[in-house]
Each structure stands twice: as structure tokens, then as C-alpha cells.
Chain A
Amino acid sequence: MKRSDIVRHVLEDGENQELTARSVGKIFDFFLEEIASSLERGEDVKISGFGTFIVRKIKARPGRNPRTGEPVPIPEHHTVLFHPSRSFFKK
């Protein structure tokens, strides 16, 4: 499933009046962009009924190149975790 499937889902809603696929796509892009920029600022994003995106700091640790076995340091970095809302897999 991808962006175009989400756009189609919105357009199929009975209450949809005048929105075009292009404008729904634009709004969806803006929605993802707002989430990404909040995460980039280090702020978690909580979407009720869907889940929470959490920014987590990962400490530096020694790693290895799995192919050669050569030690490679992994520097401190940030990553995004997602915790699905509890309502998720119930239908």
C-alpha cells in the first residue's frame, strides 16, 4: 500500500465534495512533512488512534562490518521508533 492508495481512500469517502486527487496528495505530503520536521526537531509525534513516533538517542557503540568482520565504530545518533496505538490490530 502506498501514497496513491491513501489518496484513493480519501476520494472514495462519501462526504468528499470538491477535493481532487492532486490536492489530497499535496495535503498528505504536508502531513508526512510535518511529522518528519517535528521528529527532526527532536519532538515526538502522537497521533491518537494510530500511534506514536518516538525520537530515541542511540549511544555510540563498537560495531563490525558483517562481511569482513572488521571493527567499525557506530557513532551516537538518533532514530525514530513507532509504537502502534492499542486499537491497532483489532477489527
Chain B
Amino acid sequence: MTRDDLIRRIAEEMPGISIPEARRLILLFVEGMKKGLNEAENLEFRRFGVFEVHHRKARTARNPRTGASVQVGSRRSLVFRQGKVLKARMKNLTKRTI
């Protein structure tokens, strides 16, 4: 499923929402979520999951090919943790595929 599929589904199922309007809304959803995460805030959606911003310290790494030391700066990473309900729903998939 892609962003375009989601746009189409919203326009199909939500009364009074056209495709261009659904596209505008999805872009705003994504923009809003990114804005929060860029401000290093976690995003929490009940029943769905949490996006957590993790901070990685600067470290000295090695170029695996040459063995030379390289300084890697501090960076942020993003971790998604499924919510309870989503986790429970994924069990249905496990049941179906076993």
C-alpha cells in the first residue's frame, strides 16, 4: 500500500472529501508528524504505536575496507514501537500464515 492508495481510500470512504482534499490532508498529517519528530518530540498514537526519537552519541568507527578510524558525529534515529492493539492484530496474521 502506498501514499496514493491511502489518498484514494480516504476519498472513497470519507463523505465530502475529494481526492485533492485527501491528498492535502495526508501531506499535512505527514508534515505535522515530521515537525514534532524534528523537534525531538515522541509521537504517540493510542492503539497504533509510538515513534521515539533516539539520540546516538558521536563515536569513532572504522572504515571496514581500509581499517582507518573515522569520526561519526552524534545523530538521531527513529524507532517505531507497535501499540498493544496493533501488536494483538498482528497475531491474526501469524495465525493465518502458520
Partner of B36, one of A5, A31, A39, A55: A5
CB-defined interface of B19-44 with A at 8 Å, one 1/0 digit per residue?
00010111111111111111001111
CB of B52, distance to nearest CB on chain A (Å) = 10
Q: Which positions in B face A, CB cutoff 8 Å?
A: 1-3, 6, 9-10, 13-14, 17, 22, 24-38, 41-49, 51, 75-76, 78-80, 82, 85-87, 89-94, 97-98
- Chain A residues numbered 51-70 whose CB sits less than 8 Å from any CB in chain B: 51, 53, 55, 57
Q: What are 24 A-B contacts defined by CB distance under 8 Å?
A: A1-B36, A5-B32, A6-B33, A9-B28, A9-B32, A10-B28, A15-B24, A27-B10, A28-B29, A31-B29, A32-B45, A34-B1, A34-B6, A36-B85, A36-B89, A39-B90, A40-B93, A43-B1, A50-B30, A51-B78, A78-B93, A79-B82, A80-B82, A82-B79
Q: Write out the residue numbers on chain B whose beta carbons fall within 8 Å of the beta carbon of A34.
A: 1, 6, 9-10
Q: A46-B3, A47-B2, A77-B90 are in contact. Are A88 and B78 (CB under 8 A)?
A: yes
